Structure 1
Amino acid sequence: MTGKQLIFDLPLRQSQGREDYYVAQANALALAMLDTPESWTSGRMILTGDAGAGKTHLAQIWADANRAPLIPAAELQNYDAPWLATAGAIVVDDANHIAGTRERESLLFHLCNLCQAEGVKLLLTARTAPRDWGLVVPDLRSRMEATTSAKIMPPDDALLAAVLVKMFADRQIHVPVTLIPWLVSRMDRSLATARALVAALDARSLSEKRAITRSLASDVLDSLGLHEED
């Protein structure tokens, strides 16, 4: 399409499959370790990374491949541990959120023991390593600190560009090809920032009935406090 870009308020269609996950230096090691669960100590692994790094996306891919339930750690008390152990594999998302609450920590400790006894693979996600969670149950702390871990590193240019392309595609938005590297060179190096930036561009484009151009993107970057001078 040349000239003006048509703008529609279309529903967001996020694609979350393995084929939609871009492998780069930042996440390649974590993905490789997820693909070799036989190497996990006691059948457990903790996937760490900053907010918006893609931990839950990657964990969901693993959960789908292994037919594993994905449980937010804050809801762990709503599940029966013996029933979970029949799944063959389990994902506990945001595991650091159980820290400081003895009841929740005890539930996770019990689940770890049950999974190990039954040969169930247990994947946990968290923003930081277990030593920084503030765990109060000593036995759980020792279990977690002895668990195999992998970290998703901050994204490089290639990963940021691929994520931006995917996020625009999820929203069914067409942008000039040259806009992607221009944005990458000016935005904070975080997938959370990429998500916020795409959402802000979409909202501004719709509200002002303007195509997403470098001019509009510059305005949005300024409004988000992310703009850098050339």
Structure 2
Amino acid sequence: MAVQLVLGVQLPQSATLDAFVGQRNAHVKASVAELVAGRTERLFVHGPTATGKTHLLQAACRAIGDSGQRSVYLPLAQVGRQATALLTGLQDMDCVCVDDVAAIAGDREAEIALLSLTDGLRARGARLLAADAEPPREIGLALPDLVSRLAWGGAIATIELDEPDRQELLTRRAAQRGMELPDATARWLLRHHGEHDVPALMTILDTLDHASLSAHRRLTVPFVKQTLAGPR
């Protein structure tokens, strides 16, 4: 796999396009798949938190790396002051997936580095997949040229998952852990803990995974209810 990792950032095993679930954002997955296949060179994904943007960027990075090409996933909100240096060193990649672009808004050197990267990738026919909560014109970038470059391939929006998508996500993630999550239990979780965002639901799934393994119990509604209620 020709994936370059930066500053210890690891790609989760679940970060694949096949593992991306739900119908509400299927159009976004399809657009990312077009870029992975090399039929497009640039795309900007935006939308609310926990709607799958990071998953899609990491999945694209993995898929392109698995094909033998050089790819990198760069989360700008995590790399902090290293952003300028890292962006400068990615000119030779076949695909760069840049997450949390707004993290460098107002940092002139970092913005220039990203602008140079976008031009360098385009000159070589390489790909750029970027993401943030808002589209390029609304994330506070100081360089108009960078805004226009990020919008070249078009911007596509993710939307919040509805209940069927959230249930499918819970069921699929449970299966990846080797757990069987019955539909009735998944519906109970969403009914009683559905106010949580997706990362919080994944944390609940981790808790249930450990509890079921320790107790050698299936994830029935009574067992899940007892586990999440905690000790009395």
Give the TM-score normalised by the residue count of structure 1: 0.73
Measured in 2, the distance between the counterparts of 1:134 and 1:30 equals 24
Residue 166 of structure 1, CA deviation: 2.5
Q: Counterpart of 2:25?
A: 27
Contact 1:154 1:190 in 2 (8 A): no
Residue 217 of structure 1, CA deviation: 4.1
Structure of greater Rg: 1
Measured in 2, the distance between the counterparts of 1:126 and 1:106 equals 18
Q: Counterpart of 1:3?
A: none
Figure out how many residues of one structure are paired with residues of the other and give that number: 206
Q: Counterpart of 2:51?
A: 53
Q: Counterpart of 2:111?
A: 105
- Per-residue Cα deviation, 1:18-68 (whole angstroms, up to 9, x for no partner): 33232x32221111212333775xx32111232222222211221222232
- Per-residue Cα deviation, 1:145-186 (whole angstroms, up to 9, x for no partner): 555111221112332112111222343334444201222334
RMSD: 3.1
Secondary structure class of the residue paired with 1:122? strand
Residue 200 of structure 1, CA deviation: 4.2
Q: Counterpart of 1:136?
A: 142
Match of 2:130 among 124, 148, 152: 124
Measured in 2, the distance between the counterparts of 1:181 and 1:206 equals 18
Query: Structure 1: where are the runs of 5+ without partners?
Result: 1-12, 224-230
Measured in 1, the distance between the counterparts of 2:209 and 2:108 equals 43
Q: Counterpart of 1:226?
A: none
Same amino acid, percent of matched pairs: 25
Of structures 1 and 2, the one with the larger relative CO (CA 8 A, separation 6+) is 1
Matched, 1:214 2:221: yes
Measured in 2, the distance between the counterparts of 1:165 and 1:57 equals 17
Amino acid at match of 1:57: H
Contact 1:155 1:190 in 2 (8 A): no
Q: Counterpart of 1:17?
A: 16
Secondary structure class of the residue paired with 1:36? helix
Measured in 1, the distance between the counterparts of 2:185 and 2:176 equals 17
Give the TM-score normalised by the residue count of structure 2: 0.72
Residue 221 of structure 1, CA deviation: 6.8
